Structure 1
Amino acid sequence: MTILDNIQHTIAPELRQLNTRMVDTLSTSNEMMNEIVGNYLKTKGKQIRPILVILSAKLLGDVNEVTISAAAAIEMLHNASLIHDDVVDDTHTRRNRPTINAIWDNHIAVLTGDFFTSCSLRQAVAANDLRIINTIADLGRTLSLGEIDQISKARRHILDEKAYLNIIGKKTASLFVACTKMGGYSVNASCSDIDRLGRFAWLFGQCFQIRDDIFDYFADDSIGKPTGNDLREGKVTLPLLYALSRNDLPERDNMYRLVCNDSLSSGEIARLIDYAKAAGGIDYAYRRMEELRNEAVGIIMEFPASEIRDTFVSMFDYIIARNM
């Protein structure tokens, strides 16, 4: 079993509650919507985000009905964003299954994503805690702004690590921070503990996105499909950013001019990927992930020793080691 399998096994009763809650919340009198949702839920994904909600509640107290509502809210909002992303990116497969837009059409997919969003809000309200409702509301705003910020910087060819980290903080890390905050709120943990765990989650989220971005640089099937989609969409991620910062390399200026083109051919994308790897971009990304991990472990070790505390470290190790 993988690290994640072991973690899922440890909290299996809570995950069963979560999935039952989601099915009940998403159930309607409309046969078409039930078919779409039922087919979509056949592959649940890794459920890392609700797992973090549950683990946070366990670290700071005891899981309860509010925790499950919060976990369901965050997972359904995340799924809504994935469904909408598939429409925007014209993606036809996810988790080795056809996407909603591929089976039905974009119109149905957008409406389904909206439906997931409304169900997320219903579960946030069911938690009966204004802090949880506010967290979900703020999160939706931050995720949207993060995506727009990324598009804006891509169009203006802003190529620096600080801007990159700011973007992934909004579009990825903020979601993980919301998970730990809502888990803490659900057990009425102290503000100081919630803030500390939130900092851990911020580092976790940044590391998660860096690892995700690395997948686009490799052809090995065990690592990920080499689509070059990030560059095709004008997104320059950490390995290439590092390579472009190396003024000591003779190819640097040519590569910088190339990446500023508004439209890249497959051959040009392949050149940029090869350049990033040759310039040590992948190694640099791994070093940055290790730095993030070390800081995060230092934070989590401030909490009393427990199996759950160790599980947070295992989760961090998992996201660095994962191959999909």
Structure 2
Amino acid sequence: MATLDQIQETIKPELAQLNAIIAHTLHSNSALTDHIVKEYLRTKGKQIRPILVLLSGKLFGGVNDKVLYAGAAIELLHNASLIHDDVIDVSSERRGVPTINSVWDNHVAVLVGDYFVAGALKCAEQTHEYRVLNSLSNMGANLSMGEIDQIDNARNHEITEQAYMTIIRRKTASLFVSCVEVGGITAGADDRRLAKLMKYAELLGQCFQIKDDTFDYFHDPIIGKPTGNDLREGKITLPLIYALGRKELPEHDEMNRLVHKATLTDGDIGRLVDYAKASGGIDYAYRVMQRMEKEACQLLDDFEPGPTVDAFKSIFSYIISRNK
């Protein structure tokens, strides 16, 4: 299996072009805006989402200008959501650097996030594909609804696995689906095979979120998020959902009462985290991810074997094995 760095190397020129489009699109006549944008773009992250757009384009005929602009639109929307998330979460750091809201203020951060959205629309317009705009608008709606549902479920203590899967399908997987969809559309993909790749991407996105959620059960300075942070925010994730479903365990009733408390203390959170781990919650999450990976690889069997298909398989493996 290729590493993510190796996959990036195979599309290095295309990724550089895509990032140049982003920089050009965000350039403005405002000195403050340009300064903030320039500082923000210094740390690009792993860029998994634009990589998926480019790989989808390669799979369906090749990366052209439309594919590049579609990928830029996706990356701009993704980063807009991160900037807004930092405001909502009162985050002071992202990717090892201070957030826009911590350096300036929430007002500026929200406006910069909005500016990224405007840039995404400009890039989408350059594809001259109505279906790209449709994909992006559907994705934006799903992202928002997923987050709103998560807040609502946290307030109502909704903790079923089905509800959890619906939320992560919306708030995370919808973006992954849109990545391969716009890449395929702009490369001239046929509907049947594009639908299969979109299902692959949905599984990948769900797996990405499940893996992210497992980090919350361990203290790791690399991740930078305190143990049990999701529980502090009222979010019940898959490992604990599984553990709370094991009614045969002697601690079940006590833990079920505990999770429904209006306010959890640090001690409560520690007990719930330990219970989830001891009851096999982490192992269950990995079994679910491995099942998703198997299904995703079967979907890819419909495509001609080659480096691009191998890259899609490697990305899925990376998502499960990553440590941050």
SS at match of 1:248: coil
1:79 partner letter: N
What TM-score do you get using the length of structure 2 for normalisation?
0.98
Match of 1:80 in 2: 80
Distance in 2, matches of 1:284 and 1:291, equals 11
Q: Where in structure 2 are there 5+ consecutive unaligned residues?
A: none
State how 1:147-166 maps to structure 2 within 5 Å.
Answer: 147-166=147-166
Q: Is the 8 A contact 2:2 2:311 kept in 1?
A: no
2:113 aligned partner, one-letter code: G
Describe the SS at the equivalent of 2:59: helix
Matched, 1:132 2:132: yes
User: 1:192 and 1:162 mapped to 2: Cα distance?
Assistant: 27
Give me the CA root mean square deviation: 1.2
Percent of pairs identical after alignment?
55
Q: 2:21 maps to what in 1?
A: 21
Q: Secondary structure at the match of 2:230?
A: helix
Report matched runs for 1:136-285 at 5 Å. Answer: 136-221=136-221, 225-285=225-285
Q: Which amino acid aligns with 2:121?
A: L
Whichever residue aligns with residue 271 of structure 1, its letter is: R
8 Å CA contact 2:73–2:120 kept in 1: the answer is: yes
Superposed displacement of residue 221, structure 1: 3.8
Alignment of 1:119 with 2:114, yes or no, is no
| Gap runs ≥5 in structure 1 | none
**How far apart, in 2, do the equivalents of 1:259 and 1:96 lie?**
32
* Conservation of the 8 A alpha-carbon contact between 2:289 and 2:320: yes
Q: Which amino acid aligns with 2:95?
A: R
Shift in Å at residue 262 of structure 1? Answer: 2.5
Correspondence for 1:3? 3
Deviations 1:107-129 (A, max 9, x none): 00000111101111111111110
Is 1:139–1:178's contact at 8 Å kept on the other side of the alignment?
A: yes
Structure 1 counterpart of 2:151, one-letter code: I
State how far apart, in whole Å, the 1-side matches of 2:223 and 2:234 are.
Answer: 22
Give the TM-score normalised by the residue count of structure 1: 0.98
- Secondary structure at the counterpart of residue 185 of structure 2: helix
Paired residues of 1:176 and 1:205 also in contact (CA < 8 A): yes
In the aligned structure 2, how far is the partner of 1:100 from the partner of 1:189?
38
Matched, 1:43 2:67: no
Cα shift at 1:229: 1.6
What CA distance in whole angstroms lies between the structure 1 residues aligned with 2:275 and 2:39? 41
Q: Which residue identity is paired with 1:63?
A: V
Conservation of the 8 A alpha-carbon contact between 2:154 and 2:234: yes
* Structural mapping, 1:63-102, within 5 Å: 63-102=63-102
Residues 1:2 and 1:39: Cα distance change in structure 2 (over 3 Å): farther
Counterpart-to-counterpart distance in 1, 2:87 and 2:179: 25
Alpha-carbon distance in structure 2 between the residues aligned to 1:262 and 1:235: 13
